[in-house]
């Protein structure tokens, strides 16, 4: 089996349209199964590219704009005091970033990287998907 065939990030290409904030030639932003915390969005390369080092110059050139505009859209919709842009690539080497707004209600000791530990507690798929139209609109006007 190829890396691409086994890749959970590549598999989101076949996800539901209700999850999609945008897709363009190189990038897609979606609410992803297992990370359905309201406001959390994954921005991923549309092809199987492992780590940032595998991106082409063309992909890199557009990445900053997509990440900036998506963080702006998420921050606006969620009225978040902070919005995190996280890249790990440990469990899923396909290049992607998790964009996670941090609400005012998140305790200080859970901020920063510890926000990931709230994934289970904060998961609310219906609420996460319900935010997609507002995120699309905010992204489109960023
Ligand atoms: Zn992949």
The Cα–Cα gap between 121 and 95 comes to: 26
pLDDT in tens, 33-61: 999 999 999 999 999 999 999 999 999 99
Calculate helix-pair angle for 132-140, 57-78, nearest 10 degrees: 120
CA of residue 27 to ligand 1 center, whole Å = 12
pLDDT tens per residue across span 62-120:
999 999 999 999 999 999 999 999 999 888 999 999 999 999 999 999 999 899 988 99
36 Cα to the center of ligand 1, angstroms: 20
CATH 3.30.428.10, applies to 8-132: yes
Per domain, the residue ranges of the chain are 8-132
Half-sphere exposure of 39 (CA within 13 A, CB side): 22
- Distance from Cα 32 to the centre of ligand 1, integer Å: 14
67 alpha carbon to ligand 1 midpoint, in Å? 19
């Amino acid at each position: 089996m190829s890396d691409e065939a086994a890749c959970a990030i590549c598999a989101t290409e076949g996800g539901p349209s209700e999850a999609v904030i945008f897709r363009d030639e190189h990038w897609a932003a979606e609410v992803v199964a297992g990370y359905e915390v309201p406001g959390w969005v994954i921005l991923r390369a549309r092809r199987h590219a492992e780590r940032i080092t595998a991106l082409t110059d063309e992909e890199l050139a557009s990445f900053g704009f997509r990440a900036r505009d998506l963080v702006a859209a998420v921050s606006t919709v969620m009225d978040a005091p902070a919005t995190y842009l996280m890249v790990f690539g440990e469990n899923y080497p396909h290049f992607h970033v998790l964009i996670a707004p941090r609400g005012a209600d998140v305790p200080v000791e859970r901020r920063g990287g510890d926000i990931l530990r709230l994934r289970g507690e904060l998961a609310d798929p219906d609420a996460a998907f319900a935010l997609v139209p507002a995120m699309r609109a905010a992204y489109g006007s960023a």
